[in-house]
Chains A and B, each alone.
Chain A
Amino acid sequence: MQNKKTWKVTFRAFLYLLPMLIIIGVFNIYPIFKSFAMAFYENYNMFSGENDGYTLENFNILFSDEEFHEALTNTFVYVLFVTPISIIISLFIAIMLNNIKFLRPVFQSIYFLPFVTSTVAISIVWRWLYHSNYGLINYFLGLFGIESINWLTSPDWAMPAAIIMSIWKSLGFNILLFLVGLGTISKTYYNAAKIDGASTWQRFRNITVPLLSPTIFLVSIISFINNFKVFDEIYALFNGQPGPSNSTITVVYYLYKKFYTEFDYSVAAASGIVLFVIILIFTLAQLWLNKRFVHYR
């Protein structure tokens, strides 16, 4: 192999990278810049590409749109419920799995299944589970004397229904990451902590959490970003609707609706940029927290 970094070698390397670069350029890089530009176009014509220059009017329309406010609120509610609950539950399950030897691969696969199943298929199953008359969930609630809930048809219950399904769906991937993280914590720390008189909870608080913090951080960043982009869970669970009477509309759903049903391309692009800024702020905040609280070995 030629190791010197001459111009010739560099050029040849670029040639090998070129096919992938072209694909990424056409389908990722260019659209990013184009959508930024689109958000600022005045009277944009998608098909001819004509516009009357740049304006901030699109954002004005966006922020005065009642529906967009609702989409923002719903997205925040969704993210702030799904992310922490999913992390806590999957951490709990991962620790349980980490402590059993028997059948561990079997359980691991079972928990991972939702992650590799298509969202549409999952949503069809959950639509049955949530069914107000024949659903399994209402049947179980009935056993405890709780009246059946109109999960999918009541505006009050649609969001909780989406949140519960999403938490369940996200467990597998988080558990997988947590198991990898737990595997890197040496057992001697637990032995030392036992000798030092730490109870099970104290060992969790003082050993597991700090030594797992890099993984917890990674999982929370991935979950926050993914959950802010929620669309297909809503679309599939409510059969192509943003929930009963628009009750579960999210920012991406709003973007989709503006783009494909209202052909308001510039406002759609503007809403995308707002979401981008929100995710950016959250990620920066987490990076800052990471610096302060996460311990890297």
Chain B
Amino acid sequence: MEVQFNDVSMTYDGSSRTVLNDMSFTIEDHSLVSILGPSGCGKSTTLMLISGLLFPSGGKITFNDRDVTRLDAVSRKVGMVFQNYALYPHLSVIDNIAFPLKMAKVSKKERMETAREFADLVQISDHLNKKPNQLSGGQQQRVAIARALAKKPSILLMDEPLSNLDAKLRTVMREEIRRIQQQTGVTTVFVTHDQAEALSISDKVMVLDQGVIQQSSTPMDLYENPQNLFVAKFLGSPSINTFSLDQIADALPERLVAQLKKKDVETIGIRPESLTQTEPGAGLFTGEVTHIEIVGKERTVKVKTADGTEVIIADIPVVFDVGDQVSFGSKPASLFYFDSEGIRMVISDAE
């Protein structure tokens, strides 16, 4: 099912803060879309608005061109996995999964069959008669997904479903979610603050900050072509290094600097992994190595330049020690230029 927001705004009663500001987007049928943003950016509110547990203070929400703005959660018939799973503590696993069907007055035999089928899908069939408090976090999560899917909803909403799991299980479960989504083809909206989660499983990621969509694109595109400084800083780990134009202007070709100045470029961003070591004195900057961290195959080096800026460099051969003066440079094509508003500027002929 296609979900569309048209200029949706949200302000909670008794609060003057606008949580969402004239938000418009479309979620395509059968896709898995992540809403990514820091806490308090309005991502959970967006999900609640799709579910019908909250009503917008302005704008229009449509499901497949049907206006559902004023329909409540009971009649919108979406599936939802809550952050704390919200499994009914008095019902067994199978009854939890069958609950939406019971509410829809499906016959007992039929709903038990369907519930078993979905228990198989999420691989929880060995625990059908247990109560939720006898299950581990990952198992509860599976039950919650099965319950959300059991009524065959046209859209599945997930509110930070992995945040209560430990690191290893999180990776397993996010692959599970991807598998289940592809197997069932249900349109899925996945809310998270964890970029790795969002980037690894989504068809499309919507980056949200302060109730405004910053950019909505494929995971690859977001990383390679951030439209503004927020997206550039939010995605990527370790996060992007930023310099002011004046700081490194000397190391750049004069023609380019002139062009950048003309376009009002203020900040230049360089991904830690696109920096490489250069001859001493050459490159974009020179600084003292303050920290070297090698964890398995991952290398992170921290360098402090003469003016005190700390730069992080990743994935390079380490042929120096802490305290050495080292220079680093980068291909001009891997530099990101941002103007004073933080908007990405594309300089067409960089060389």
A198 to chain B, nearest CB (A): 5
Of the 9-residue stretches A38-46, A137-145, A203-211, which lies at the interface with chain B? A203-211
> Contacts A192-B86, A295-B90 hold; do A197 and B80 have CB atoms under 8 A apart?
no
Q: Per-position contact with A for B80-100: 1 when CB-CB < 8 Å, else 0?
A: 101010111110000000011
Q: Which of B74, B79, B90 contacts A211 (CB 8 A)?
A: B90
| From B73, B87, B104, B133, contact of A195 by CB (8 A) | B73
The yes or no answer to A4 lying at the interface (CB within 8 A) is: no
Q: Identify A196's interface contact among B72, B90, B133, B147, CB under 8 A.
A: B147
Contact of B86 among A188, A197, A206, A297 (CB under 8 A): A188
Q: Which residues of A contact B45 (CB under 8 A)?
A: none
Is the Cβ of A195 less than 8 Å from the Cβ of B88? no
Instruction: Contact check, A211 vs B86: say whether CB atoms are below 8 A apart.
Output: no
Closest to B77 in A: A197
User: Given A188-B84, A202-B103, A195 and B90 touching (CB < 8 A)?
Assistant: no
B103-A195 in contact (CB<8A): no
Residue of B84, B88, B100, B133 touching A197 (CB-CB under 8 A): B100
Residues of A near B111 (CB, < 8 A) are none
The reply on A189 being an interface residue by CB < 8 A is yes
- For B87, the chain A residues whose CB sits under 8 A away are 192
Q: How far is the CA of A206 from the CA of B100 in the complex (A)?
A: 11
Q: How far is the CB of A233 from chain B (nearest CB, A)?
A: 36
Contacts of B74 in A (CB 8 A): 194, 197-199
Q: Is B202 an interface residue (CB 8 A)?
A: no
Smallest beta-carbon distance B152→chain A, Å? 12
CB distance from B233 to the nearest CB of A (A): 33
B: contact size bracket: 20 to 34
Interface residue? B193 (CB, 8 A)? no
Q: Contacts A196-B100, A202-B103: A191 and B88 contacting too (C-beta < 8 A)?
A: no
Known contacts: A194-B53, A194-B72, A197-B100. The answer to whether A297 contacts B89 by CB under 8 A is yes
How extensive is the interface on chain A, given as a class?
10 to 19
- Bound complex: CA of A186 vs CA of B85, how far in Å? 12
Interface string of A34-54 (1 = CB under 8 A from B): 000000000000000000000
CA gap between A192 and B72 in the complex, in Å = 13
Max chain B Cβ within 10 angstroms of own Cβ: one of A197, A206, A207: A197
Within the complex, the shortest CB–CB distance from A269 to chain B, in Å, comes to: 45
A207-B79 Cα distance, complex, nearest whole Å: 18
Q: In this assembly, does B192 line the interface, its C-beta being within 8 Å of a C-beta of chain A? A: no
> Would you give the shortest CB distance from B288 to chain A, in whole angstroms?
52
For B148, list chain A residues within 8 Å (CB). 195
**Chain B residues positioned under 8 Å from A199 (CB to CB):** 74, 103
Assembly CA distance A191 to B87 (angstroms): 11
Q: Mark A162-204, 1 if CB is under 8 A from B, else 0.
A: 0000000000000000000000001011011111111100100
Could you say which of B52, B73, B75 has the most chain A C-beta atoms within 10 Å of its C-beta?
B73
B151 at the interface (CB under 8 A from A): yes
B89/A195 in contact, CB under 8 A: no
Question: Is the Cβ of A196 less than 8 Å from the Cβ of B78?
Answer: no
Closest to A294 in B: B90
Interface positions of A from 272 to 297, Cβ below 8 Å from B: 295, 297
Is the pair A198, B90 in contact by a Cβ cutoff of 8 Å?
no
Give the chain B neighbours of A195 by CB distance below 8 A: 51, 53, 73, 78-80, 148
Assess the A210–B103 pair: CB atoms within 8 A: no
Contact of B73 with A191 in the complex, beta carbons under 8 Å: yes
A188 to B103, alpha carbons, bound, how many Å?
Answer: 17
A191: B residues at CB distance < 8 A: 53, 73, 82, 86
Residue of B nearest to A187 (CB): B86
Q: Enumerate chain A residues within 8 angstroms of B53, measured Cβ to Cβ.
A: 191, 194-195
Interface residues of A in 130-167 (CB under 8 A from B): none
User: Which chain A positions have C-beta within 8 A of B89?
Assistant: 211, 295, 297
Bound Cα distance from A94 to B227, whole angstroms: 53
Chain A residues in 8 Å Cβ range of B133? 297
* Contact of B151 with A197 in the complex, beta carbons under 8 Å: yes
Q: Closest Cβ of chain B: how far from A130's Cβ, in Å? A: 43
Q: Are B88 and A192 in contact (CB under 8 A)?
A: yes
Residues of A within 8 A of B88 (CB): 189, 192-193, 206-207
CB contacts (< 8 Å) of B104 on chain A: these are 197
B residues within 8 A CB of A210?
90
Find the B residue at minimum CB distance from A198. B103
CB distance from B295 to the nearest CB of A (A): 38
Known: A189-B88, A210-B90. A196 touches B151 (CB 8 A): yes
| A211 vs B87: C-alpha distance when bound (angstroms) | 12
Of all chain B residues, the one with the shortest Cβ separation from A194 is: B73
Closest-CB distance, A4 to chain B (whole angstroms): 37
A196–B79 CA distance with the chains assembled, in angstroms: 7
- Chain B residues 30-79 with CB under 8 Å of chain A are 51-53, 72-75, 77-79
B146 CB to nearest chain A CB (Å): 12
* Chain B positions within 8 Å of A206 at CB level: 88, 99, 102-103
Contacts of A211 on B, CB cut-off 8 Å?
89-90
Shortest distance between the CB of B106 and any CB in chain A (Å) = 11
Give 5 pairs: A residue, B residue, CB < 8 Å, sorted on A: A193-B88, A194-B52, A194-B74, A199-B74, A206-B102
Assuming A188-B86, A206-B102, A211-B90, what are 12 further A-B pairs, CB within 8 angstroms? Answer: A188-B82, A189-B88, A192-B86, A192-B87, A195-B53, A195-B78, A195-B79, A196-B103, A198-B74, A202-B103, A206-B88, A297-B89
Listed in ascending order, the chain A residues whose CB lies under 8 Å from chain B are: 186, 188-189, 191-199, 202, 206-207, 210-211, 295, 297
Query: Which 4 A-B residue pairings sit nearest by Cβ, starting from the closest?
Result: A196-B100, A192-B86, A295-B90, A194-B73
- List residues of B whose CB falls within 8 A of some A CB: 51-53, 72-75, 77-80, 82, 84, 86-90, 99-100, 102-104, 133, 147-148, 151
